[in-house]
A and B are shown apart, each in its own frame.
Chain A
Amino acid sequence: MMRRIESRVNVLSEDYQRFHAKNIERLSEFHRRQDDARFERPQRDHDRLAHHGKIFVRERIKLLLDPGTPFLEFSSLAANSEYDGDSKGASVVTGIGIVSGREVIIRADDPSIKGGAWYPLTVKKNVRCLDIAIENRLPVVHICDSAGGFLPLQSELFADQVSAGRIFRNQAILSKMGVPQLSLVFGQCTAGGAYIPALSDYAVILRGNGGIFLGGPPLVKAATGEIVDADTLGGADVHTQVSGVADYAANSEEEAILLGREIVSFWKRPDKIKKDRRKPEAPFYDPKELYGIIPDDIKIQFDMREVIARIVDGSYFHEYQPDYGKTLICGYSYIWGHRVGIIGNNGVLFNDSSLKGAHFIELCNQNRTPIVFLQNITGFMVGREYEARGICKDGAKFIMAQAGSAVPKFTVMVNGSFGAGNYGMCGRAYDGRFVFSWPNHQIGIMGAEQAANVLADVKVRQLERAGTTLTDTEIEEIRLPVIESFERESNAYYATSQIWDDGIIDPVDTRNTLGIALSVAENVPIEEPRYGVMRL
């Protein structure tokens, strides 16, 4: 029997009511944007799909999944701030779902947007979902229906380390690891796209719409003068009867999906690592109260324990070092029966809180306990006294311990994520298994106000040296555009557009999201941790 967090939230208070109203507003904006990205398409695009007898991508996934099981979708709002909003969800749907009783990654092109062409962020989202497959040894089902790279932006998606080539590289790595992949070919896979089914262990190709070729009919004509139609060049019968590029032909999408489900049902189940799991228990406090806890202004502090109490089993929490480094909350708990270490911000990171964080990360590694980071961080403390006490080396220890940690790490952007605090708290760069954000999330190298003041100050001193002084209005003219651009580029929608996270989630869904993440993380044995040199 564990101790329970004692909530101090007063649901009748004015603050609670005001925060609640604000967060409900934020949530409805999130749902509006998500519904738009998922479902809203011009009628002509729906007509075009219908004309070719194609099922909408969401319906294809629904047919593939086991009935009544959850689908954890990644980055549903990717690319929302790019390409004039043309590439909704970055033109691809990715996520973890249950197919024939197995946890798999689903990667489905969305042909309702520009024929499913890959924009630069489509490629990033594809690579990311295959990285997740590699890190968590998850099999992959590809639903291939893409026109290929979006040619006007080819230079941004082709040649770099994590560009299109990385998709095929990741497929090869997965196969080398013994993790199976299946491709359902529902459209034409041309050029690089042809390698997705070719690099899959199993491929089903649809008669009629399905096609696989290195060069399509127009390219063949241009290159050699040969005139050939798509079906003769790389249709279902050619590939399943002659070339052996694909394994099964199907006459309808539905047939192909059911065939795919049967193939997956023969895949070996992963050897989950042995962990002592507890019987799951719902949180004692209602997770919906999170809406009244997260403030309406990023400057207002709140107690992270109140958030923990609404995520973990039974709201139980064993707090480590409750009286030391109090701006960082560390402790053990359970989420869906999985033991976890939780590290959450309760203010600025000081010397003591940084040391506490580093120490607790080492404890979780010794204890083979995955770590959940709950970020609400404005940064490490600045000022003469803190520098003199070595805030840099204490912060370095925190980052060193976190980067060297070998247990699975999960990050939830609960509110702010600013400056080096993002690094210590397992920001995107630190290879956590997943990063999810709440709709109120803000992220940046520093706050908008601070950046504006720094830049204005630099300019004022520059001009002073030249003998000029600026009026208040002129200073405001420097500050305003900085504030505007910082605010635009530090909000949750911009962040998720760039795929700095794996998606925005409703705070109430945090517990279920982490439950799925913790479950798939068990597919991989935990290695021994090794740390670099700690500056003591």
Chain B
Amino acid sequence: MGYDFELENRTSVVHPASDGCGNAGPNIVALSIDGVRTEVSLTPGRLEGEFILEVDGRSERVFAATDGDNHFIHLRGRTLQVAAINALERAQQAAAPTGGDEALRAPMPGVVVGVSVEEGAEVETGQLLLTIESMKLQTAIVAPFHGRVAEISLEAGANFEQDTVLVRLEAIETTTHEHGNDSTEEKSP
């Protein structure tokens, strides 16, 4: 696998190239960036975070600092922010199914404590739909995706069995500005 980095809204996949044809010296790293092979030499400088970077025979002084997943690189008077992207998270988001019509069922028998939305209402992901109580515990039933409340049949105080449909949601098509965007660039995760 490669390492994914985001720089100025562009995502690059960087592979350490260990294909055997590199004439790697002590500080030389062979990299494949978006499929293009490059050899760089990186020598630690005297100051903390200082490096001498050599690419194609040209030498530059760079400073690097890391804060969590963000790397800050100071080069030629500019500071660039390079964000490391978790590849697993990116893969999960890319493959995640979008919301369909969904019945939210009771996880256990209980009683409705409060209903927070009406039928027909548009709800955001995570918005409170109703509150139920069972086993001394109040649980919030929230919208798993952006949608419209198609059915909500129980009132406060009503008892229900396990698996009873509490709310039926229907998905609302993703917002228009994302659809109307002609750019082929993928939305960054």
A interface residues with partner B (beta carbon < 8 Å):
1-4, 8, 281, 284, 297-301, 314, 327, 347-348, 350, 378-379, 381-383, 385, 418, 447, 449-450
12 pairs, CB–CB < 8 Å, chain A vs chain B:
A2-B86, A3-B88, A8-B126, A281-B68, A297-B138, A301-B140, A347-B137, A350-B108, A381-B108, A382-B135, A447-B136, A449-B136
The one of A297, A301, A379, A418 in contact with B139, judged by C-beta atoms closer than 8 angstroms, is A301
B8 at the A interface (CB under 8 A): no
A-B contact count (CB 8 A): 46
B144 CB to nearest chain A CB (Å): 12
Max count, chain A CB within 10 A of own CB: residue among B86, B134, B135: B135
B49 at the A interface (CB under 8 A): no
Interface of chain B residues 80 through 119 with chain A (CB within 8 A) = 84, 86, 88-89, 107-109
How many Å lie between the Cα of A289 and that of B138 in the bound state? Answer: 21
Residues of A within 8 A of B68 (CB): 281, 284, 314
Which 5 residue pairs spanning A and B have beta carbons closest together?
A: A348-B135, A378-B136, A301-B139, A299-B138, A378-B135
Contact between A299 and B84, CB atoms less than 8 A apart: no
How many chain B residues have a CB neighbour from A under 8 Å?
19
Closest B-chain residue to A327, C-beta based? B107
Residues of B within 8 A of A447 (CB): 136
Residues of B within 8 A of A301 (CB): 137-140
B181 at the A interface (CB under 8 A): no
A5 CB to nearest chain B CB (Å): 11
B133 at the A interface (CB under 8 A): yes
How many Å lie between the Cα of A284 and that of B68 in the bound state? Answer: 8
Interface of chain B residues 106 through 155 with chain A (CB within 8 A) = 107-109, 126, 133-140
Residues of B within 8 A of A449 (CB): 136
A142 CB to nearest chain B CB (Å): 44
B184 at the A interface (CB under 8 A): no
Residues of A within 8 A of B89 (CB): 3
How many Å lie between the Cα of A449 and that of B136 in the bound state? Answer: 9
B162 at the A interface (CB under 8 A): yes
Closest A-chain residue to B162, C-beta based? A385
Contact between B109 and A383, CB atoms less than 8 A apart: yes
Closest A-chain residue to B3, C-beta based? A1
Contact between B139 and A1, CB atoms less than 8 A apart: no
B69 at the A interface (CB under 8 A): yes
B75 CB to nearest chain A CB (Å): 23
A349 CB to nearest chain B CB (Å): 10
Contact between B126 and A378, CB atoms less than 8 A apart: no
The one of B69, B84, B126, B137 in contact with A348, judged by C-beta atoms closer than 8 angstroms, is B137
Residues of A within 8 A of B69 (CB): 1
Contact between B86 and A3, CB atoms less than 8 A apart: yes
Contact between A1 and B84, CB atoms less than 8 A apart: yes
Residues of A within 8 A of B108 (CB): 348, 350, 381
The one of B84, B133, B135, B138 in contact with A381, judged by C-beta atoms closer than 8 angstroms, is B135
- Given known contacts A8-B126, A348-B108, A385-B162, A1 and B137 CB-to-CB distance under 8 angstroms: no
- Given known contacts A1-B69, A1-B84, A281-B68, A379 and B162 CB-to-CB distance under 8 angstroms: no
How many Å lie between the Cα of A357 and that of B72 in the bound state? Answer: 41
How many Å lie between the Cα of A281 and that of B107 in the bound state? Answer: 37
B80 CB to nearest chain A CB (Å): 19
Residues of A within 8 A of B133 (CB): 299
How many Å lie between the Cα of A383 and that of B110 in the bound state? Answer: 11
Residues of A within 8 A of B137 (CB): 299, 301, 347-348, 378
Residues of B within 8 A of A348 (CB): 108, 134-135, 137
Contact between A1 and B109, CB atoms less than 8 A apart: no
Residues of A within 8 A of B126 (CB): 8
Residues of B within 8 A of A298 (CB): 136
Residues of A within 8 A of B109 (CB): 383
How many Å lie between the Cα of A281 and that of B67 in the bound state? Answer: 10
How many Å lie between the Cα of A350 and that of B68 in the bound state? Answer: 37
The one of B84, B107, B135, B140 in contact with A379, judged by C-beta atoms closer than 8 angstroms, is B135
